[in-house]
Amino acid sequence: MAVPSRSFRLLLLAAGAASLLGAQAPSQPQPLFGLVIHGGAGNVTRARVSAAGEKAYRDGLERALAAGYAVLDQGGSSLDAVQAAVTAMEDNPLFNAGVGATITAAGEHELDAAIMDGRTLAAGSVAGIKHVKSPIALARRVMEKTPHVMLIGAGAEAFAQAQGLPMVANEYFRTPAQWATYQKLKAREKAPEPLTPKDTVGAVALDRRGNLASATSTGGMLNKMPGRVGDAPLIGIGTYASNATCAVSCTGWGEFFIRAVVAYDVSAQMLYRGLPLLQAAQNSLDKALALGGDGGLIALDAKGHVAVVFNTKGMFRGFRLSDGSGTVQMFGAE
């Protein structure tokens, strides 16, 4: 049975009108560029988040947006922008990526990440990472420095060391909040769902040259079996980008997103059925939800149209475009 979408956000934005130079001839229209991010989807409501907690999460999303948008504003690539935004969230203990990642059934952290270039369809991903400070940086190196798309576990970490990427003890990723929740679960206590996002952070970007990119990073599901891999590092499932259609980053219950091939399905519906971004995004998410999962996705197309769809009570998300529009939101009814 399909699970109805409780809420979604649509922001359809096109390039603005040309501005005037002085009082005379109009300038050429500037290409629209911008960034969309998410910090996870889950049981997030105003009633469950303190004022201080809400401010902290909004500030974290604003910092990630600022980091990615600054790259675009200075003429940088969409790839650099999504990496900058995701890195900011990997470094923020509030999010389930990098420091603050969830804990496996064995009491460790195993992290996954992926990045994709919409211009070339090049992609890189990593899974089962335990000691690399920035999984998204390692995914980028896999894309650019190897003939492969995905590296996992010890092999991926050996490559990271060879590339000189910062390595950390596994405990680096642990936060008191995540550990407390894990301990309650292991003791079979009836604990409320944590206020952290369900899982995963991500970003999609469109740069001044019209190139799209996507990046996703996650600690995965709390108490997952060691070795479990979700949708985030799987190209075409949790992460996808093509200049011909759109860039997508997903968040939610990965096992269902995997079966529905969600991220690529958004692109395919645009490419083969000619659907607009929002309709393609909603249709693709609904396929995963019909299987029993929950979550959401962000998407951005080459014209600057933005779609955010989810069926959870909340989804941490934000966008900023060069026409001056932008927002940061957490709850379903905003």
DSSP symbols for 253-269: -HHHHHHHTHHHHHHHH
**Helices and strands (H and E) in the chain: how many:** 8, 13
Is 200 considered catalytic here? yes
Distance of CA 246 to the CA centre of its chain: 14
For tokens 């301990």, the residue is 183
Alpha helices in the chain (DSSP H): 51-73, 78-90, 135-145, 153-162, 176-186, 254-260, 262-273, 277-291
Q: Are 234 and 213 in contact (CB under 8 A)?
A: no
Q: What's at 215, amino acid-wise?
A: A
Instruction: Characterize the bridge pairing of strands 212-218 and 150-152.
Output: unpaired
Q: Around 219, how many Cα atoms within 13 Å sit in the side-chain half-sphere?
A: 36
Distance CA(201)–CA(147), nearest Å, equals 26
DSSP character for 46? G
Catalytic residue from among 200, 216, 239, 245: 200
Cα–Cα distances in Å, from 268 out to 126, 247, 262, 276, 281?
24, 12, 10, 11, 10
Which residues are known to be catalytic? 200
